[in-house]
Amino acid sequence: SAAEKDGYEHFMLKEIAEQPRAVADTLRGRFDTSGQILLDEVRMSDQDFRDVDKVFIVACGTSYHAGMVAKYAIEHWVRLPCEVELASEFRYRDPVLDRSTLVIVISQSGETMDTLMALRHARNQKARVLAISNTVGSTIPRESDAVLYTRAGIEVAVASTKAFLTQLAACYLVGLHLAAVRGIKYADEVGAVVAELAAAPDKIAEVLAAMEPVRELARSMGTADRALFIGRHVGYPVALEGALKLKELAYMHAEGFAAGELKHGPISLIEAGTPVVVVVPSPRGRSLLHDKVVSNIQEVKARGATVIAIAEEGDAVVAPHVDHTVFTPRVPTLLAPLLTAVPLQVFACELAAAKGLDIDQPRNLAKSVTVE
Ligand code: G6P
């Protein structure tokens, strides 16, 4: 009903707007004084966490993209090897699992059948399973050894938005938890992450407050029938998520690529006017990455692409090379997806609205896929 939508035309718009609150709720009260993260249900000891020598992250859809971001954070902060797998592939390829493997399963609904079957397979092989889920008491958390609940609140729109941002927040918490329990002395960078995480909800709100140009841009693109998304490092999963949102909502052929792979094929897709959305890394710190993305932008521009850049505030280098720039606030590189994903959600939602499509219930899709 209209009342449930809180005055918004679609649940998705409401859920996009709720993201600062959802992330703040997911972080609230999760740190104890020693910096350890408080998980909700833990049937694993600190020693179990210390014994971990390998991490797998297993999920489907948008949750898989959150897992891809988590891999970058966990490997960097915890120095544990970490792989990310689609749940539908994981158990069929005979992954190497034992009691020192930690399998993190991410599922908004807690009921996705592929993810549940992957979890059961992992537990049969004696691996420990930690679930990140938005649904208290659902099957996946119930069958896991430990659980961290996201607190997005009920997500109604089929295309995931606020659940995704809270999954990212939960993944960062798990990374910090692993680092703390394993006694890895926080580097300055990691210590600062906790404060930066706490500041993220306000920055997400800042991004949301500046979305009108993105909506206009989406409306002006109503006739485009395809789009490419590119990024590097954590911008790569964000590019995949941006493309998924366009597929889900606007029924457009949209594909995300690692920007470095452009020259190995995707660049041949570029014609005059092909929209290319580029998730640009911060020019600070890892400026090498930034330079590489700028040359990727030049490569696609030279072939006639219309380039839309998602760039960090103060990035003066990118703007002259692109057609449109959307700025997001400064944040440590690993946390950037909390901000850079937001304009891509808004873009897809508005494009679908411009096409007169059903935003909350796209054709052929289900909120929770309970068949394999
Ligand atoms: C469906 C939904 C997606 C979701 C995916 C995984 O495809 O439409 O939005 O990302 O399932 O769902 P889960 O509940 O396991 O996160």
pLDDT in tens, 83-117: 999 999 998 999 999 999 999 999 999 999 999 99
Rounded to the nearest angstrom, the distance between the alpha carbon of 63 and the centre of ligand 1 is 7
Give dist(CA 335, CA 171) in Å, integer. 11
pLDDT in tens, 118-127: 999 999 999 9
pLDDT in tens, 219-240: 998 788 899 999 999 999 999 9
The residues pairing with 55 across neighbouring beta strands, listed in sequence order, are: 82, 102
Q: Which atom of ligand 1 is nearest to the CA of 115?
A: 15
Nearest CA to ligand 1 atom 8: 367
What letter would DSSP give residue 73?
H
Q: Which atom of ligand 1 is nearest to the CA of 59?
A: 15
Written as six digits, the tokens of 149 are: 């609940």
Task: Quote the Cα angle for 207-243-250, to 5°.
Answer: 90
3-state helix, strand, coil in the chain (%, to 5): 50, 15, 35
Percent pLDDT > 90 in the chain is: 83
Q: Is 362 in the pocket of ligand 1 (CB under 6 A)?
A: no
Q: Is 160 in the pocket of ligand 1 (CB under 6 A)?
A: yes
162 given a catalytic annotation:
no
pLDDT in tens, 256-280: 999 999 999 999 999 999 999 999 9
Which of 16, 107, 112, when mutated, tests ligand 1's pocket best, judged by the most ligand atoms within 8 Å of its CB? 112
Q: What is the pLDDT of residue 1?
A: 64
Task: Quote the Cα angle for 159-117-73, to 5°.
Answer: 60
Please give the helix or strand (H or E) that residue 82 lies within, else none: strand 82-86
Rounded to the nearest angstrom, the distance between the alpha carbon of 110 and the centre of ligand 1 is 9
Q: Does the pTM exceed 0.90?
A: yes
Give dist(CA 337, CA 285) in Å, integer. 17
Q: Is 365 in the pocket of ligand 1 (CB under 6 A)?
A: yes
CA-based Rg of the chain, rounded to a whole angstrom?
20
At residue 72, does pLDDT exceed 70?
yes
Phi, psi of 40, rounded to the nearest 5 degrees: -80, -50
Q: Is 136 in the pocket of ligand 1 (CB under 6 A)?
A: no
Residue-wise DSSP of 108-172: SSS--HHHHHHHHHHHHTT-EEEEEESSTT-HHHHTSSEEEE-------SSS-SHHHHHHHHHHH
Rounded to the nearest angstrom, the distance between the alpha carbon of 219 and the centre of ligand 1 is 27
Q: What is the pLDDT of residue 86?
A: 98
Rounded to the nearest angstrom, the distance between the alpha carbon of 158 and the centre of ligand 1 is 8
pLDDT in tens, 162-195: 999 999 999 999 998 898 888 776 555 677 788 8
Burial (CB < 10 A; 0-12, 13-18, 19+), residue 302, is exposed
ipTM over 0.95: yes
Residue-wise DSSP of 196-252: HHHHHHHHHHHHHHT-HHHHHHHHHTTT--EEEEEESTTHHHHHHHHHHHHHHHH--
